[in-house]
Amino acid sequence: MRYGIKSVTMDDIARELGMSKKTLYQYVDNKSDLIEQIFRQHTEEEKTAIERIRRSSADAVDEILKIARYVVEQLRDLSPTTVYDLQKYYRNTWKQMEALHQRHVYTIIKENLERGIRQGAYRPNLNPDIIAKLYVGKTSLVADEEMFPAREYDIRVLFWEYINYHIHGIASDEGRRLLEKYKAAEKQQVK
């Protein structure tokens, strides 16, 4: 995740694991298989973490902010080189991961919207299906290296701007009050 995929060899991996390359190949067919297994495991871990966040959130606004915070932490560990390597050298894995991620994000956001509407935190006239699809599409835009080159945009700042944009677009007066409450509490924790 830190150094990119292409620059790390199977020899490097075997050495780091303290095993021979022959032993490593008893568990994986090749580097592509290893990459696919890693990202499948990462996706499952992400689903578990987000489900834990959803269960522990006080309301829909708290939930979306905690999920955003989690995503930003994940993005900190992901180098632009890794994304580039996946897109260029492991295209099938990238496409599978992107499709799975989009379906998962769509479901999470749609359910968050429905929860927020029920709780009065989001505007009652929203269409959760359409807004969730817009969210997924815009998330892909945030990750677009051509639109937002990593050398010019800090991904954390970019993501927080996106989340603020999203919440302000869907929040009711009560939702904006909750947002300000959570932002104030976060500032207190930083001090």
Beta carbons of 167 and 76 less than 8 angstroms apart: no
pTM of the full structure: 0.82
pLDDT higher than threshold 80 for residue 143: no
The domains of the chain are located at 30-190
Domain 30-190 falls under CATH 3.30.70.1230: no
pLDDT tens per residue, range 149-168 = 878 888 778 888 989 999 99
Rounded CA separation 79/1 (Å): 6
Each residue of 31-56: pLDDT tens digit?
989 988 988 898 889 899 999 999 99
Cα 124 to Cα 5, 58, 170, 171: the distances in Å are: 45, 19, 9, 9
Residue 91 Cα to chain centre, angstroms? 19
pLDDT value for 68: 87
pLDDT of residue 191: 61
Cα four-point dihedral sign 9, 91, 162, 66: negative
Dist CA 97 CA 95 (whole Å): 5
